[in-house]
Chain A
Amino acid sequence: MDRPEVESRLKALLVSELGLDEEKITPDANFEEDLEVDSLGVVELLMALEDEFGVEIPDDEAEGILTVSQAVDTVIARLG
């Protein structure tokens, strides 16, 4: 799976699962500060990512995901 595909599927998840505004979802957007996703929302997002891409994201790695591009990086790394 290439990066643009991961990005577009992640974006679709953020819109459908978290109800975010599509226009605000940029690679540098910070989940908590820019997208107003609170701590519960981040947990939801991570679980949705795991389901969507069939990967497992360990808790210590999850804590380092603050932005959209970091989430994409993590998924790509986990997909191997």
Chain B
Amino acid sequence: MERRRVVVTGLGVVSPLGLDLASTWSGLKEGRSGIGQIASFDTSNVKTTIAGELHDFDPENYLEKREARRLDRYSQIFMASAIEAVAMSGLDFTSSERLRERTGAVAGAGMGGSDSFQEGILTLHERGADRINPLTITKIIANMSVGYAAIHFGFVGPTNCTITACAASANAIGDATEIIRRGAADVMLAGGAEAGICEFVIGAFNSARAISTRNDDPQGASRPFDADRDGFVLSEGGATLVLESLDHARERGADILGEVLGYGMSTDAYHVTLPRPGGAGQALAMRWAMEDAGVGPGEIDYINAHGTSTAANDSTETAAIKLALGDHAHSTPVSSTKSMTGHLLGGAGAIEAVASIMAIRDQVIPPTINYTTPDPECDLDYVPNAARESHLSRVMSNSFGFGGHNVALVFGRL
């Protein structure tokens, strides 16, 4: 039996560059940075004072007050992106029981409700265990974004949650694709979100020496592949894709934005944070994704890199791309949109999938900004500092997570 094809019919984004798809995508094309000084808490006790915060995000613009107040910020962000994506798809879940039964969702989160976790611990210490808010658990758990999406929209098909750190929402898109491929659903919401900008998380990432401390130059702090990179920049935000079987999308006359062609996964089995040196693990995920898509290394027109701006990731990913693409590596443009958005952790794979699909739609590659000093270990074409028009048929998006999880997705135009 021929495999069911999976297409994208809706996109939604909430990011430091803007609270919807249009503003985020134009920010990416313009090479804007969404990073600034942290305004949401007093940073005098932490080393890093910069992050990619959302501007003017009000959950009550998307949800009833009663709904919004029961959700952690990460779930509110996911819901905002899901509502935009569903609206774009034109799907109406109130229209038929059959549609509700044949729709599900997979969402990723790196951590879940970090802020609610911090708040609960503070209450425990300051006021005692019996004063912990009764909603604490339901806010913290990393699957509530997807659980609440079903409650909100009313669909009753397969749901799941992927928790593979910074690869989580790439896994969500791949797993949702496979659920449609095997016929268990016709429509899947897929994506993820994170809202980890709080004292606890910033402090913990500082201790791990993972995030940038370029506090005096927030917009220049996320500088993937540049020789002077000093860690990633934590951001909040999320994105949702509406995935559909090609037949389902065609039958209802949906506007098809792109196709999910391939999904590859591998694991480094090496270290809790560091990638396996040489990039063999990451390369394996890229090879599986290309094989799944039925394309060769010369048929990838652009790679949206994981490109975190950490010393270890960017050089290893460069080596991995060379392993996976061979002779084609140097002629394939590679960019990191994290240079502009910062690192959305559990939302990263999803926002980068959106960037990949929009790149194909608009035939333009978003740049790697802040690229000024070449690093000898990073010697590919990183589309430095300005977007580039290009003929794009197939785009690969990489996402790698602490724990050694490697995911690559290949998107195409129909």
Contacts and interface: CB of A to CB of B under 8 A. Distances in A.
A6 B134 CA distance: 23
Interface in A41-66: 43-44, 47
A44 B64 contact: no
Contacts of B182: none
Nearest to B138: A40
A43 B136 CA distance: 12
Contact of A19 (B64, B131, B133, B135): B64
How would you classify the secondary structure of chain B's contact residues: helix, strand, loop or mixed? loop
Contacts of B69: 18-19
Contacts of A20: 66
B125 interface: no
Interface in B105-157: 131, 133-135, 138
Nearest to B70: A40
B409 to A, nearest CB: 37
A76 B395 CA distance: 66
Contact of B66 (A19, A43, A47): A19
A44 B65 contact: no
B134 A40 contact: yes
A43 B133 CA distance: 9
Interface string A10-41: 00000000111000000000000000000010
Nearest to B137: A40
Contacts of B65: 19
A60 B15 CA distance: 47
A18 B66 CA distance: 7
Contacts of A18: 66, 69
Nearest to B132: A47
A76 to B, nearest CB: 23
Nearest to B64: A19
Contacts, number: 17
Contacts of B64: 19
A65 to B, nearest CB: 15
A34 to B, nearest CB: 15
Given A18-B66, A19-B66, A40 B131 contact: no
Contacts of A44: 133-135
Nearest to B127: A51
B129 to A, nearest CB: 12
A20 B64 CA distance: 11
A43 B69 CA distance: 15
A19 B134 CA distance: 16
Interface string B51-73: 00000000000001110010000
B207 to A, nearest CB: 33
A23 to B, nearest CB: 15
A47 B135 contact: no
A18 B64 CA distance: 11
A58 to B, nearest CB: 12
A40 B69 CA distance: 13
A40 B135 CA distance: 7
B270 to A, nearest CB: 43
A15 to B, nearest CB: 9
Contacts of B66: 18-20
| Residue from B64, B66, B135 with most neighbouring chain A CB atoms (10 Å) | B66
A47 B69 CA distance: 16
Given A19-B64, A19-B65, A19-B69, A47 B138 contact: no
A47 B138 CA distance: 17
A20 B69 CA distance: 11
Nearest to B67: A19
A77 B64 CA distance: 35
A47 to B, nearest CB: 7
Contacts of B138: 40
A20 B65 CA distance: 9
Nearest to A46: B134
A40 B66 CA distance: 13
A18 B65 CA distance: 9
9 contacts: A18-B66, A19-B64, A19-B69, A40-B135, A43-B134, A44-B133, A44-B134, A47-B131, A47-B134
Interface of A: 18-20, 40, 43-44, 47
Given A19-B66, A44-B135, 15 more contacts: A18-B66, A18-B69, A19-B64, A19-B65, A19-B69, A20-B66, A40-B134, A40-B135, A40-B138, A43-B134, A44-B133, A44-B134, A47-B131, A47-B133, A47-B134
Q: Which 7 A-B pairs have the closest CB atoms?
A: A19-B65, A19-B66, A43-B134, A40-B134, A44-B134, A19-B69, A40-B135
